[in-house]
Structure 1
Amino acid sequence: MRSRRAVGRRPATTALGLLLAAVLLLGLAVGIGLLVTRAETGTAVEEVDSGADEWFADRRTPTLDAASDTLDELGNTAVVLGVGVVAAAAGSLAVRHWRPAVVLALALGGELAIFLTTTALIDRPRPPVVHLDAELPPTSSFPSGHTAAAICLYGGIAALVLAATRAWWRWLVLAAAIVVVAVVAVARIYRGAHFPTDVMGSVAFAVPWLLVVLRLVPSAPPRGTVR
């Protein structure tokens, strides 16, 4: 029944639903950003937030520095774009339908729009620790763009795989997506690019946005499952 409703939904209705969700999640992201930047001063949250970055900075090693440099690239714009294009093409060819490409395009495009708007409105300085990246993006520390992009890309790929196959290995894809998102988030904190609340702010808007896209974009007609 859910698939039939999704297939029968008019494009205008879908677009309106996506726009409304994006506006609401933008409001949520901005609200969280204002809360952590204006109401955090002198609270236990501020102590934990800054303490986490200092804890990681005190435990840096050359090996971990090199590993984090590689791992956080999984959320880099160029990597996300490249992986997204390949995954969209491969997914659409596999199920012989345009849905995978549209889902990933909308998930990543909407995430980027919410992130850029939020970071423009929330001017939060980067954590007061040594930054391992030679040059950080000229955006606010809040929210974490790498984390949000990783959620929408790798989470989106996992969701599409779960919908396309009943094979046991689909759960490995989901587990891998969760691990990649977690690794990217931790790597950004380790490298001094973000506070933990920056990462949590990204989770707060990126996960619901991905779920909305998956729910509203029409499902592919059944053609059997991929094995």
Structure 2
Amino acid sequence: MSDVAVQFLKRILAPVLALFAVMVGLGLLITKVLEKTWPFTVEDTVNRDFAANRESFGNVASFIFSTIGSTPVIIGVTAVVAIILRLTLKRWREPLFLCAGVIAQALIFFFTTLLIDRQRPEVAHMDNSPPTSSFPSGHTSAAVALYIGMAVVLVGLTNRTWLKTLCWLLVLVPVGVAVGRLYRGMHHPTDVTASFFNGIMCVWIMARAILDRSVQWTRSTLASRKVAAAH
């Protein structure tokens, strides 16, 4: 097996598979083991409170944030930002990191929904329900991976404290998406909480594998390191 393949298995595939196992475990714990245990027995009070107090501004705001986390928008924004990063920085690390984080969370989300069967909250739904489990929230997970991933990249490109703080405000986007999905009755609170975990962990995994400059992926660099070590 080549050194590049070993790096891929060690730094990307193994951690992603482990995260997938954890997500499935969390889903089973919430839906099969602790479903009749507090606070899981009362978590949908949040959804009912939102449903009982819906009004025009909240309807519009939740629609906007829900759209931001939708698959077409996530794909479009990821592609545009990745292209801009590539053309601006003249290197592949940052755009690959961003794309890899979004793709990883999507794969984990999709396969988790195949194994976890959870009905959506028992309130009026403001969106059409996709044919997937309520656990986890794909909108939230995707927004977390994309916008926190963008924040990580941008923070690494500036030395100014005020700019770093400004970049971290991107974290508010997935928060808005999560609240919007709860408001619109599409997910339970634990669905979006688990999605934050999924998205953040995917960003962390890809940052360690791709953004870390001490990690080399090219065959020539790996070969030169072996030669240097031999001497």
8 Å contact from structure 1 (residues 97, 220) kept in 2: no
Q: What are the equivalent positions in structure 2 for 1:132-147 lying under 5 Å apart?
A: 132-133=126-127, 135-147=128-140
- Aligned: 1:166 with 2:159: yes
Deviation at 1:139, TM superposition (A): 0.5
- Aligned: 1:79 with 2:73: yes
Structure 1: which amino acid aligns with 2:134? S
Structure 1: which amino acid aligns with 2:210? V
Q: 1:89 to 1:58 in 2, by over 3 A?
A: same
8 Å contact from structure 1 (residues 91, 100) kept in 2: yes
Using the size of structure 2 for normalisation, the TM-score is: 0.86
1:215 aligned to which of 208, 211, 227: 208
Q: What are the equivalent positions in structure 2 for 1:148-187 lying under 5 Å apart?
A: 148-167=141-160, 168-175=162-169, 177-187=170-180
Any gaps of 5 or more consecutive residues in structure 1? 1-9, 222-227
Q: What are the equivalent positions in structure 2 for 1:57-72 lying under 5 Å apart?
A: 57-72=51-66
Q: Distance in 1 between matches of 2:123 and 2:189?
A: 14
Q: Distance in 2 between matches of 1:13 and 1:173?
A: 34
Q: Distance in 2 between matches of 1:116 and 1:11?
A: 27
Structure 1: which amino acid aligns with 2:163? W
Aligned to 1:100: 94
Any gaps of 5 or more consecutive residues in structure 2? 215-231
8 Å contact from structure 1 (residues 103, 217) kept in 2: yes
8 Å contact from structure 1 (residues 107, 156) kept in 2: yes
8 Å contact from structure 1 (residues 54, 129) kept in 2: yes
8 Å contact from structure 1 (residues 34, 122) kept in 2: yes
After TM superposition, where is structure 1 displaced by more than 4 Å over at least 4 residues in a row? 218-221
8 Å contact from structure 1 (residues 119, 141) kept in 2: yes
Structure 1: which amino acid aligns with 2:121? P
8 Å contact from structure 1 (residues 14, 217) kept in 2: no
2:192 aligned to which of 191, 199, 207: 199
Q: Which has the higher contact order (CA 8 A, sep 6+)?
A: 1
Q: Per-residue displacement from partner, 1:12-50 (whole Å, max 9, x unpaired)?
A: 243112000111000110000001111233322233311
Question: Matched residue of 1:128: which SS?
Answer: coil
1:50 aligned to which of 37, 44, 53: 44
8 Å contact from structure 2 (residues 148, 171) kept in 1: yes
Q: Per-residue displacement from partner, 1:62-114 (whole Å, max 9, x unpaired)?
A: 22112111111111111111110111111122221111221111111111110
Whose Rg is larger?
Answer: 2
Q: How many pairs were matched up?
A: 210
Q: Distance in 2 between matches of 1:99 and 1:47?
A: 44
8 Å contact from structure 2 (residues 116, 133) kept in 1: yes
Question: Matched residue of 1:130: which SS?
Answer: coil
Deviation at 1:51, TM superposition (A): 0.9
Q: Distance in 2 between matches of 1:158 and 1:115?
A: 22
CA RMSD, Structure 1 to Structure 2 (Å)? 1.5
Using the size of structure 1 for normalisation, the TM-score is: 0.88
Task: State percent identity of aligned pairs.
Answer: 36
Q: Distance in 2 between matches of 1:171 and 1:143?
A: 29
- Aligned: 1:110 with 2:101: no
Q: Distance in 1 between matches of 2:174 and 2:47?
A: 18
- Aligned: 1:35 with 2:35: no
